[in-house]
Amino acid sequence: MAFTRIVILVTLLLNFLGSTLLGQTQSSTKKDIDKLIYKASKLRESGNFEKSLLITRIALRKAIFIKNNELIAKNYNVVASNYNELMEFDKAIFYYNKALIFANLTSNDSIKERINNNLGNMYCFEKKKYEKGIEFYKKALEYSKAIPDSSQMALTNLNITWAYFDIGRFRNGKYNLDFLNRFHNKHEDSSTIVIRKMLNGMYYSYSKENDKADKYFLEAIKIGQEQNNKSDLSYAHLEYSKFLLKQKAYKEAYENLSLYNRLTEEMFAEVKSVKANIAGVNFELDEYKRAIDKIESEKYLQYKSLKKSRLIVLLFVIVLFVLLLFLNSLIKNNKYRRKSNLDLMHANKELIIANKKAEELSHLKTQFVSTISHELRTPLYGVVGITDLLLEEHQELATSPHLNSLKFSARYLLSLVNDILQINKMDENKIVLERLTFNILDELNMIKNSLSFIAQKNKNTIYIDVDPTIPESLIGDKLRFAQIFMNLVSNALKFTNNGEVWIVVKQTKIKGNIHTLEFSVEDNGIGIAPIDKDKIFDKFVQVGRKEIDYQGTGLGLSIVKRLLELFGSTISVESELGKGTVFRFAIDFEYDKVKATEIINDIDINLTFGQTFNVLIVEDNLINQVITKKTIERNNYSCTVVEDGYAALEILNTEVFDVILMDINMPLINGFETSRRIRQNGIETPIIALTAFDKNEITEEAIAAGMNDIIVKPFEPLQLFKIINCLIQNAKSVV
């Protein structure tokens, strides 16, 4: 039976080969090729990219054979449109340019207009090369004037308006928007109405006519929802969120941004699924592209080879039948073994799918961590910076426990955010403890003051008992130490009412310069049930929430356990329901009077060389601009602030600076690209990346862009000035 099926398959294959070869010797008509192109276009619009590309391949071969430049241009345009839909933008641009070459050999203004418009879309919205893309749009508009169907002119006007608005050139795009608004009844259809409404909203947002802007944005979103047009609807939500953010409607802005992200992820998932199904077709088209190039230069030789193909086919048939006889015997002998192999392949496919899903989840987690890290560090930079400014400008508040507690709490929150977001790095032992001098009693008192509002809320009293034999200055990671106690003490206060919380520190052992301290945090609160003791150190676990919602993430004790592991310690718990809980652990700290003095002396560095340095700050966030500028000017440096990369490039053409502080995440042009262009212009001024991104995530790209160092916000001013002075000194020594 299997052999019979193979014979039938071979017969059909030979018939197909024969008909194909015969067909290639006959001249296909323009009408037949146009039908194939139309069918391929419809298949692309319906999302059947695989079949669309295959049909285009056949049509392209026929068009090249009859040497019809217009049909060749149309085919390449369809191929490029498929790759555009699949987000393979480099391939799309390649084939659009190929199409334009052949289109320019014709007198068909319509196809020239369409291809120029498509290239404008590629460079403006996918490659973000707006100037180049706008030039293509302008060419498209010139061709559209000679086309009876003015709907193409409307579409190009829509695209060029969007491009101008994206780069903030609203005045340039106003003329094109006016054209759309005047003739929308004549030209507009369901594919353009959402974007036209959105563009009107963007313009009125720019001109501060907020009521009109809000009206147009809501109309765009409503129509997009009715049409279920995910692409246009997603952009409407994105631009509306920007408008709402300007109006300080943060909640609504966040909701619209979330809708944009969800729609984008859905579209990306759909395209990714389709791309996976046509991977083989892409490979075939790449191979065929090379074959087409050869056909274009060697048509005559190819025609001669076709005459000899019948003999080749005949020989192929003879050889194939011999092979089929041998194959038939192999099929019979390996029937049972093949079944086992199929089962194994099925299991392997499931494993590959599971592995891909795990990789995708890991990537999403990394992306989430990076995004949250950046979004949280930015406002924390504002809190820490403004607190420093208050202390600097109002020295009478220097002794205020409230302001000092605010500053400490902000810095603790930053440390907590970093540890929570990088808890996966703890598993890989990538966190290294710092060596700083600190006083145990001072740290505990600061923690007590910071948590006083929780204590007052639950009517609790915090007591601190520190062994007087403990040295005043110990060396260790005081931020990690503080984080441990913030978690333990806040937990104790949260689960205690009208009670007491005791923090007890005893020195239990001294060996050389290592002092072993035993810590305990004790409360007389609700206690922990025996069944829950083994769970409390797990992630996202909360116990005792049946009657009262104590809130919290359930990460506190998990982080405490991980941090103590970094200190080489473990934690124990004793508890009884209704009587309270005691947590105990021990940590080794170093006491070395000489080293402590060295660390303190290292801090007292000379921040200047008796000179006034000229600093350029490139930062789009207004609060961050104020904080960074104030911080720089407090050190008697002169300071200039610009809001984006283009402004930085412009001012560097006329002014000289000693150092540049460069934000990374900026609109229009990011910090990496700005730095790259600065270096391309021959400017060697040191560049420091001043960013809220995790340093490990951007180091490689920062170096490639020509940056000299990275400092993560929030930062200690002392650290910033030390890096600035070091880079300036190195730059001057080179000169």
Residue 125 DSSP symbol: I
* Cα 654 to Cα 247: distance, rounded to the nearest angstrom: 36
Is residue 27 pLDDT above 60, yes or no? Answer: no
From 440, 431, 456, select the one nearest 504 (Cα to Cα).
440
Average pLDDT over residues 342-362: 75
More confident residue, 541 or 124: 124
* 180 touches 196 (CB < 8 A): yes
Is residue 47 pLDDT above 90, yes or no? Answer: no
Q: Which of 131-135, 273-277, 405-409 has the lowest mean pLDDT?
A: 273-277
> What structural domains does the chain harbor?
432-600 (3.30.565.10), 605-734 (3.40.50.2300)
**Collapsing DSSP states into helix, strand and coil, what is residue 519?**
strand
Q: Which of 11-15, 100-104, 516-520 has the lowest mean pLDDT?
A: 11-15
Average pLDDT over residues 545-561: 60
**pLDDT on residue 677:** 93
* 570 touches 585 (CB < 8 A): yes
Residue 275, phi-psi category: left (phi > 0), alpha (psi -120 to 50), beta (remainder) = alpha
Report pLDDT digits (tens) over 357-404. Answer: 766 665 565 556 556 655 666 676 667 767 777 766 676 666 677 776
From 108, 105, 44, select the one nearest 78 (Cα to Cα).
44
* Cα 378 to Cα 627: distance, rounded to the nearest angstrom: 12
Report pLDDT digits (tens) over 571-593. Answer: 989 988 888 999 999 999 998 77
Element (H, E) at 283: helix 279-297
Please, which residues have CB within 8 angstroms of residue 616's CB and are 6 or more apart in sequence? 640, 642, 648, 651, 652, 655, 657, 659, 660, 661, 685
Report pLDDT digits (tens) over 424-445. Answer: 555 555 566 778 888 888 889 9
DSSP letters, 678-713, are HHHTT----EEEEESS-HHHHHHHHHHHT--EEEES
- pLDDT confidence bin for 604, thresholds 50/70/90: very low
CB atoms within 10 A of CB 689: 26
Say what percent of the chain tops pLDDT 90. Answer: 24
**Collapsing DSSP states into helix, strand and coil, what is residue 510?**
strand
3-state helix, strand, coil in the chain (%, to 5): 65, 10, 25
Q: Map 423-485 to HEC letters.
A: HHHHHCCCCCCCCEEECHHHHHHHHHHHCHHHHHHCCCEEEEEECCCCCCCEEECHHHHHHHH
**pLDDT on residue 3:** 47
Say what percent of the chain tops pLDDT 70. Answer: 75
Is residue 542 pLDDT above 80, yes or no? Answer: no
Q: What is the mean pLDDT of the chain?
A: 79
More confident residue, 389 or 559: 559
For the chain, the distance separating the N- and C-terminal CA atoms, rounded to the nearest angstrom, is 84
Q: Which of 145-159, 197-211, 471-485, 659-673 has the lowest mean pLDDT?
A: 145-159
CB burial readout 197-207, b (16+ within 10 A) else e = bbbbbbbbbbe
More confident residue, 558 or 297: 558
**pLDDT on residue 290:** 59
Average pLDDT over residues 479-495: 86
List the Cα angle 663/667/669 in 5-degree steps.
75
Task: Give the burial class of 322: count Cβ atoms within 10 A of its Cβ; 0-12 exposed, 13-18 middle, 19 or more buried.
Answer: exposed
Find tokens 């960074």 and name the residue. 628
From 583, 501, 494, select the one nearest 545 (Cα to Cα).
494
* Cα 354 to Cα 348: distance, rounded to the nearest angstrom: 10
Is residue 61 pLDDT above 50, yes or no? Answer: yes
* Cα 407 to Cα 369: distance, rounded to the nearest angstrom: 25
Is residue 457 pLDDT above 60, yes or no? Answer: yes
Report pLDDT digits (tens) over 136-152. Answer: 989 988 888 877 766 77
**pLDDT on residue 615:** 93
Report pLDDT digits (tens) over 685-721. Answer: 999 998 877 777 788 899 999 999 998 877 777 778 8
**pLDDT on residue 267:** 79
* Cα 87 to Cα 121: distance, rounded to the nearest angstrom: 12
Element (H, E) at 86: none
- pLDDT confidence bin for 347, thresholds 50/70/90: confident
**pLDDT on residue 99:** 92
**pLDDT on residue 291:** 54
- pLDDT confidence bin for 13, thresholds 50/70/90: very low
Torsion of CA 9, 14, 19, 24, to 10 degrees: 120
**Collapsing DSSP states into helix, strand and coil, what is residue 646?**
helix
Report pLDDT digits (tens) over 86-97. Answer: 888 899 999 999
From 160, 159, 148, 228, select the one nearest 190 (Cα to Cα).
228
Q: Which of 21-25, 371-375, 408-412, 578-582 has the lowest mean pLDDT?
A: 21-25
CB atoms within 10 A of CB 579: 11
Q: Which of 69-83, 347-361, 582-596 has the lowest mean pLDDT?
A: 347-361
Average pLDDT over residues 179-200: 79
Q: What's the longest Cα–Cα distance across the chain?
A: 104
- pLDDT confidence bin for 644, thresholds 50/70/90: very high
- pLDDT confidence bin for 273, thresholds 50/70/90: low
